[in-house]
Amino acid sequence: MELHRRRKGGYKIENNQKYNIIYADPPWRYQQKRLSGAAEHHYPTMSVKDICGLKVEEIAAKDCVLFLWATFPQLPEALRVIKAWGFQYKTVAFVWLKQNKSGKGWFFGLGFWTRGNAEICLLAIKGKPHRNSNRVHQFLISPIRGHSQKPEEAREKIVELMGDLPRVELFAREKTEGWDAWGNEVESDIEISSDTEKEWR
């Protein structure tokens, strides 16, 4: 069931749920064909314009924190998305240092200038959300899983940092207890409006 695909009149939120925590891992479409092609072997990707066009502000509570995964080559685009969704960039919430699948060494991708390892999760806010804990560390050190799958520990750290608040994961690839989800690989709990005509590959 591909809820991402545009329907006549756009997407509609089926309920009035507002979330204090929004966690998103967009399926970035790279300009470099070798990188974009690698992603598209595993899942449909979206252009930055289409990601920006999602009306995420409609599901954001008055006081809300956005956690947005980004790669270093796509950092300017990620900052565009943050602004388009109605949030203000604050900091890097997490830096994921990737171990290989065995967990006994480091994983290194192709990279651009240097061989890449780390991936970052940006933190942005809307309104005046409050931190629940000052004990949450920035580093995530864990093995890679499936292509682009993020560490489960990230969700746990988010809840520890912000508290047990209404929360949703966008572009979710699996359902997680305590989280609503939206994505074309899960049964979505909500649908989101869009300003753009999206073409998923």
Reported as a single tens digit per residue, the pLDDT across 179-198 is 999 998 899 999 898 987 55
Report DSSP letters for 17-29, one per residue: --EEEEEE---BP
Average confidence (pLDDT) over 48-63: 97
Q: Three-state DSSP class for 53?
A: helix
Q: Break the chain into its structural domains and give their ranges.
A: 19-182
Contact partners, residue 153, CB within 8 Å, separation at least 6: 140, 142
Q: Is the pLDDT of residue 37 over 80?
A: no
Q: Which of 7-11, 14-18, 24-28 has the highest mean pLDDT?
A: 24-28
Mean pLDDT score of the chain, rounded to an integer?
86
Query: What number is the average pLDDT over the span 158-162?
Result: 99
Confidence band, pLDDT 50/70/90 cuts, at residue 54: very high
Looking at residue 9, what is its pLDDT?
33
pLDDT at residue 63, as a whole number: 99
**CATH-assigned architecture of domain 19-182:** 3-Layer(aba) Sandwich (3.40)
CA 142/CA 39 separation, integer angstroms = 21
Say yes or no to pLDDT of 7 above 50: no
Residue 147 pLDDT class (50, 70, 90 cuts): low
Distance of alpha carbon 77 from alpha carbon 101, whole angstroms = 29
User: Of the candidates 183, 157, 182, 200, which has an alpha carbon nearest to the alpha carbon of residue 59?
Assistant: 182
3-class DSSP state for residue 57?
helix
Distance (Å, whole) CA 157 – CA 138: 9
pTM recorded for the entire structure? 0.85
For residue 31, the model assigns a pLDDT of 66
**95-143, pLDDT tens digit by residue?**
999 999 888 889 988 777 898 889 999 999 999 999 999 999 999 999 9
CA distance linking residue 47 with residue 37, whole number of Å = 13
